Structure 1
Amino acid sequence: MLENVSGSARPARRGFLLGAAALGAGGMLSACTSNELPQSTSAGAAPAANASSTPGKHVTIGFAGPLADHGWLNAINVNATERAASYEDVTFETTEGSNDTAQQIGQVETLINKQVDVLIILPADGKALTQVGLRAMEAGIPVINLDRIFDSPQAYRTWIGGDNYGMGLNAGRYIGEQLKDKPEATVVELAGLDNLELTQQRTRGFDDALKNYPNIRKVARQAADFTVESGQAKMAQLLQAVPRFDAIWNHDDDQGIGAERAIAQAGRDEFFMVGGAGSLHAMEAIQADNTVLKATVLYPPTMAASAVDLARALGQGTGVSGLAEHEIPTSLALYSAVVSKENVADYIATGFV
């Protein structure tokens, strides 16, 4: 069902965010430990830097990640695997990716039974996997909770992930700056799965940003399912329902491919689109500057490479280079940079397929 929008209440921002924008998408975290690594030319793992060539204590890292049924989720797996392979002193124990919570719980329990040194878990459902995270911590295995957060901070040693509220906020600010001089501007929103907290946070951030631009009104919102097919179907509904608007905020670049198809089929080009996540397809379209897609807001899959850095640091008992504290932080929220034609050359190597 198409949702007509007139505004929303301002939420409390996620309380555990650390001002980690300066850490970027993993550059500073890559100096957690003590190996000198070659610069990666892959669009997967971010490069490591600033370290000794001498390997440290051997660490076995267990990784329970998602089923790679989406470009961003596949990039998570690629980043983690490539980063781990770059360390001589890391053994990487992976499970078959799963979006089924019961199966993923069983996979994590297998890694616990193998007595890995550190666990990295991107849960299919943070709430459902909280108990198994607690079991790992109680067994003396520190857990890096990747992105989708567990219900209890006792279930993980460190959380690292994207800033969903900030993603929506920066999308709204970018759109606001482009339309600030246009009287009675209108925008629409193509969201993700509405039953996910991350989708709700992205919408809240977007709505809060638009409050700073009284000339802009959000006139419609449609929730899709993070797939190409849903993006095309839901975008077609938006286009039919709203005969004219000035901009669209699309939460996800994968569903954005479908949205672009619907836009082309409708022959519409009176608006510009801002995407989300940072796919290679989106960045190439932005660079070519020949479609309505003019920007994307990053949700960096390089967080998985940084999670490996943090896991290795935990296993070796070291801290993060550049911070005074001996221990690594308890939470790191990555910054959602806006990539546009002006800076796409700086980011295109990180685009995921």
Structure 2
Amino acid sequence: MSDTGSVPSRRGLLFGGAAIAAGTLAAGCTSNEEKEPAAAAQTAGGGDNDKPGKHVTIGFSAPAADHGWLAAITKNAQAQAKRYSDVTFKPVEPTNDINQQISAVESLISAKVDALVLQPNDGGQLNQVARKAMDAGIPVVNLDRVFPDKLSYRTWIGGDNYGMGVAAGHYVGRRLKEKGIAKPVIVEVQGIATLPLTQERSKGFADALKSYGFSVTARQDAKFTVETGNQVAANLLQAHKRIDALWNQDDDQGVGVLAAIKQAGRKEFFMVGAAGSANAMREIKSGGVLEATVTYSPTMAGSAVRVARLIAQGKGLSDLVELQVPQSLTLASETVTKQNVDRYLPLGFES
């Protein structure tokens, strides 16, 4: 794409964008090559951004896949990149070592990739190397764990942790009202209690429950692991002879939670999960204690690759009037139940 004429330059697109948030990504997007791009954006019927354009190289770095959700992040990014003949996907070795990830990102900067999709192990500790990429003219699509400095990324895309809690809380609240339970026993199995994302999920859950006149009876963290999920659930089941609803904040650790419930033979309550794993959806479909899960889908990595391609090619989103990809994209937390599980199952990840 040319940097001359009425179309904004790549650097202008990179650093001059308006910061607007969008809940969902358009599947089809329209090029900004027209003489009247705003009018074209409003009238486009699906656009043609999926057609081959300028060839671009997209660098990719993420943490090691020691968790089902994290493994799905890399798989989704790779699968999306393969859809485009005009994209060369350049991943580096996944790692949980901060210094190794910094070095890997520096290698992508040296390789002069056209865009970089980066899910940092820690946003604060990788902030400077992301800023280094931006200063070198490489747009960074910050995935999931946000950098504290907005100058360190062109666009952030991720899930809504507070919204996950709200969605779970509304499901639990409505179901308890339907059952006519006035003073329910509600237990919550958290992820890692000290993480802001865990705290945001808990706050959203509590806020939604409050609108029904309910509150959490007991809460314990399970470290996002199957083993700890099993132990924590067993402890909660032993401590509460009656439970009306259980919210588990992570479907990966939910494998252990469900095992503890089945081992205890408890069936008097219903459970809601979180993240949207395939095994959780299969449990929902089977009609057991797990009735629903709220999404925090790793498909966001595929969307991040699509966004990086658009930015590198100087394109925008077809359903928006603006010329540029938004600065922030927060994905909706959707509630998966037995009624709609077949639609969501293809997007589920394996725990």
Q: What TM-score does the superposition give when structure 2 sets the normalisation length?
A: 0.87
Deviation at 1:33, TM superposition (A): 6.1
Q: 1:19 Cα shift?
A: 5.7
Aligned to 1:95: 92
Shift of residue 234, structure 1, vs aligned partner = 1.1
- Does the 8 A contact of 1:225 with 1:231 survive in 2? yes
Residue 319 of structure 2 aligns with which residue?
322
Could you list the runs of 4 or more consecutive aligned residues of structure 1 that deviate by over 6 angstroms after TM superposition? none
8 Å contact 1:33–1:312 — kept in the other structure? no
The 1-side partners of 2:292 and 2:123 are apart by: 30
Match of 2:5 in 1: none
Alignment length, in residue pairs? 316
Q: Are the equivalent residues in 2 in contact too, given 1:59–1:316 (CA < 8 A)?
A: yes
Give 1:77's match in structure 2, choosing from 74, 77, 80.
74
Matched residue type, 1:161: G
Distance in 1 between the 2:30 and 2:94 partners?
Answer: 27
Matched, 1:142 2:139: yes
**Quick check: 220-229 or 158-167, which moved more?**
220-229
| Counterpart secondary structure, 1:210 | helix
Structure-to-structure mapping, 1:162-181, within 5 angstroms: 162-180=159-177, 181=180
SS at match of 2:246: strand
Shift in Å at residue 274 of structure 1?
Answer: 0.2
Report the Cα distance in structure 2 between the residues aligned to 1:20 and 1:253, rounded to whole angstroms.
Answer: 26
* Cα offset, 1:53, TM superposition: 6.6
Aligned twin of 2:211: 212
Measure the CA separation in 1 of the matches of 2:55 and 2:21. Answer: 31
Tell me the residue number matched to 1:51.
48
Aligned pairs (5 A) from 1:300-319: 300-319=297-316
Report the Cα distance in structure 2 between the residues aligned to 1:332 and 1:107, rounded to whole angstroms.
Answer: 25
Larger radius of gyration: 2
Distance 1:53 1:196 in 2: 38
Q: 1:267 Cα shift? A: 1.5
Q: Say if 1:18 and 1:256 are closer, same or farther in 2 by CA, change over 3 A.
A: farther
Equivalent positions of 1:142-291 (< 5 A) are: 142-180=139-177, 181-214=180-213, 216-289=214-287, 291=288
Equivalent residue for 1:129, pick from 126, 130, 133: 126
1:68-115 Cα shifts (integer Å, max 9, x gaps): 111111111111001101100001110111122111111111111111
User: Superposition RMSD on alpha carbons, in Å?
Assistant: 1.5
Instruction: Name the % identity.
Output: 54
- Equivalent residue letter for 2:59: G
Deviation per residue, 1:150-196 (Å, 9 max, x gap): 11111100000000000001000000000123111120100001221
Secondary structure at 2:329 match in 1: strand
- Check whether the contact 2:243–2:268 (CA below 8 A) recurs between aligned residues: yes
The DSSP-based 3-state class of the residue aligned with 1:31 is: coil
The answer to which of 224-233 and 328-337 deviates more is 224-233
The Cα shift of 1:51 comes to 2.7
Aligned to 1:6: none
Measure how far apart 1:218 and its partner are.
Answer: 1.2
* Runs (5+) with no aligned partner, structure 2: 1-18, 32-45
Indicate how the Cα distance of structure 1 residues 53 and 207 shifts in structure 2: closer, same or farther if over 3 A, else same.
Answer: closer
Say if 1:18 and 1:341 are closer, same or farther in 2 by CA, change over 3 A. Answer: farther
Structure 1 residue identity aligned to 2:219: R
Give a deviation string over 1:299-321, Cα, whole Å, max 9, x none: 01111111011100011001011
Retained in 2: the 8 A contact 1:273–1:293? yes
- Post-superposition Cα deviations, 1:234-264, rounded to whole Å, max 9, x if no partner, equal 1111112222110011011110000011111
What is the aligned counterpart of 1:31 among 12, 18, 28? 28
